[in-house]
Amino acid sequence: MKFLIACLGNIGKEYEDTRHNIGFWVADRLADQHKTSFTTGRLAQSTLIKHRGRSLVVIKPTTFMNLSGKAIQFWLQHEQIPIDRLLVVVDDIALPLGTLRMKKKGGDAGHNGLNHIIQTLGTSEFARLRFGIGDDFPKGRQVDYVLGHWKPSEIDIVEPRLDVAAEMILSFTAIGIERTMTAYNGK
């Protein structure tokens, strides 16, 4: 059984340590835990992880956040993965810093990457793992905040949550979304 784990972020040195790139951080942590690395392919960097008889195609789109749907659509088709085995890992300003929530479906909540995915795939019926980055910004400064660099005190909170996010991804592929949500959401 094959899954597509699409971890969102922006490519380029200037975005590496920004809040908007937490999806890339989760992808890197998962790859590190499985002693694998990413190779650059069409519209994304990818790696393959084997877990409990499942194959996880983990991608970091190289299309920039706001065009993530292009990469996800390509990789779903290329790998012949049904949409019910897609998990999108995304930053979320509506969640407190370090909070992790898995959802079966939903809207874009103002997130341009999710919006593009929904528009490109023609559905919002796909799972997502939302990683809370907090909302500590003045009104009208959202873009500066999400594209801003982490404070050391924030990294102290985020760092251990990367391991939990990786666990949640593996759980999603092994026992399904319902049981994963029950086990992790709200913890």
Tell me which of 20, 34, 111, 116 is the catalytic residue: 20
DSSP for 30-79, written as a single string: HHHHTT---EEETTEEEEEEEETTEEEEEEEESS-GGGHHHHHHHHHHHT
**Kind and range of the H or E run holding 5:** strand 2-7
Task: Report whether 69 contacts 121 (CB < 8 A).
Answer: yes
CATH code (residue 11): 3.40.50.1470
Query: Which strands, in side-by-side order, build the sheet including 44-51?
Result: 39-41, 44-51, 54-61, 2-7, 86-92, 127-132, 100-103
Domain count, the chain: 1
- pTM value is 0.95
How do strand 44-51 and strand 127-132 relate by DSSP bridges? unpaired
DSSP 1: -
Backbone φ/ψ region at 80: left (φ over 0), alpha (ψ -120 to 50), beta: left
pLDDT of residue 186: 76
From CA 38, how far away is CA 25, in angstroms rounded? 13
Q: Which two tokens stand for residue 113?
A: 């990457």
> Hey, is 167 helix, strand or coil?
helix
Please write the tens of the pLDDT for every residue from 109-137. Answer: 888 999 999 999 999 999 999 999 998 88
Residue 143 has what pLDDT? 86
Domain that holds residue 129: 2-184
Q: Which residues of the chain have pLDDT under 70?
A: none
Maximum C-alpha span of the chain: 47
Q: Has 20 been annotated as catalytic?
A: yes
